[in-house]
Amino acid sequence: MRPRCLFVAYGLFLSGGFAQLRADEPEIEFRENVEYGTGGGEKLTLHAALPKSGEGARPGLVFIHGGGWAGGKKDDLKEAIRDAAMKGYATVSVGYRLAPKDPFPAQVEDVKCAVRWMRAHADELKLDPKRIGAIGFSAGAHLSMMLGVMDPADGLEGDGGWSDQSSKVQAVVSYFGPTDLLGAYPPVSQEIVRRFIGGTKAEKTADYKRASPITYVTSGDAPMLLFQGTNDVLVPYEQAYFMARALTDAKVPGRVEFILGAGHGWGGQEIDHTRSQPFAFFGRWLKTSR
């Protein structure tokens, strides 16, 4: 398999109806290709799905596609953001620059810019800027975790726009996301990471560390829910354990679920559970006053 085709099992995970649109659910407003900033001289766009009903400011969710930081597209998550909007969230699916044309930190800068855009447009989106979560799949899970642990002082904010706003989110859900790029990976994943960073671990050790969510974990970071298969051939299951250890040491609340025998994505009876649990998790951390 070509490297750019890997880390995309989330597409199979979503197929079969992560989102099932029903006539009796609240209507939503769907906005396509909304410009949210710039990166490397390029316009950056997202899709937005917004509930038409409901009183007061609502929580927001940022969905981030996978694809090894080199593939995938925001269109992959159209139905997922529609579903989230029907549950009362102001929701976006973010398009971001891809490697190897645009290596790290382009992808991190872009998703940070998208969160800042949401906060800058909170009134228009009827969004509570203090209650934003991120959810991602594989490489998108990695980017979601970066949003949950990085503070402005950590850098990687970029100059895409809305610099007066915070890019940090208040809750994160990760599906089989890498947490420590300095860890041990199989050869195929090493190549994916090499293309993302723009060099090997030996050549760019400092960047591998800067690109790892585990590097930034401190007290007060976003609560996290991590799903990980124990037979994942791309992201070793120990990656979720390492993050669990770091979050525990920092006293960051959350939960890690290992799906025994599952790979980089799964189906069967586990899929219903792992589709529903994120909304229970976000409901706890984003839909209640704190």
- Residue 197 maps to which CATH number? 3.40.50.1820
Share of the chain above pLDDT 90, in %: 86
Q: Read off the pLDDT of residues 34-73 as tens digits, 9 standing for 90 and up.
A: 999 999 999 999 999 999 988 889 999 999 999 999 999 9
Whole-number average pLDDT of the chain:
91
Distance CA(51)–CA(28), nearest Å, equals: 4
Distance, in Å, from the CA atom of 32 to the CA atom of 182, rounded to the nearest integer, reads 37
Domain that holds residue 158: 3-286
Q: Is the pLDDT of residue 269 over 90?
A: no
| C-alpha 52, offset from chain centre | 25
The SS3 assignment for 209 reads helix
pLDDT tens across 140-156, in order? 999 999 999 999 999 99
Q: Return the HEC string of 216-254.
A: HCCCCCCCEEEEEECCCCCCCCHHHHHHHHHHHHCCCCE
This prediction's pTM: 0.93
- Exposure letters 18-30 (e unless 16+ CB within 10 A, then b): bbeeeeeeeebee
Rounded Cα distance between 92 and 89, Å, is 9
Number of domains in the chain: 1
Query: What are the tens digits of pLDDT across the range 158-193?
Result: 999 999 999 999 999 999 999 999 999 999 999 999
Distance between CA atoms of residues 58 and 225, nearest Å: 21
